[in-house]
Amino acid sequence: MEDVRLSEAFDALSGYEQLILKLLFVDDLEVQEVARQLGITERKANQRIGGALAKMRRVYLLPVARPRRQGAAELGALWRGGRR
């Protein structure tokens, strides 16, 4: 159930937001490198990352009123189709 909700939260992101999180969590790039690859400033990259994570948090927590933190490993597994 948790994986399904996490997947739904990830699917709620735009393709650009998904790409940013993939570069950060799956490809394990530093924010500075993410910004360079996307041709944006580091500040803008941080804003986009924060916005994407906030959107995922809102979608993920909608059905449940309890906080839950997702780690990089879970996001990476989600990106790879559930394989760890």
Q: Which residue segment(s) compose the domain that 41 sits in?
A: 2-79
- The DSSP call for residue 44 is H
Sequence-separated (6 or more) residues with CB below 8 Å from residue 33: 23
Cα–Cα–Cα angle for 61, 46, 10, rounded to 5 degrees: 35
Condensed to tens digits (0 to 9), the pLDDT of residues 6-60 reads 888 899 999 999 999 999 999 999 999 999 999 999 999 999 999 999 999 998 8
Cβ atoms of 60 and 9 within 8 Å: the answer is yes
- Pairwise pLDDT comparison (9 vs 77), residue with the higher score: 9
84 domain residue, yes or no: no
Number of folded domains in the chain?
A: 1
Asked if residue 67 is part of any domain, the answer here is yes
- Provide the CATH number for the domain around residue 63: 1.10.10.10
Q: Does residue 66 lie in a domain region?
A: yes
- pTM given for the model: 0.69
Residue 65 domain-assigned (yes or no): yes
In a domain, 28, yes or no: yes
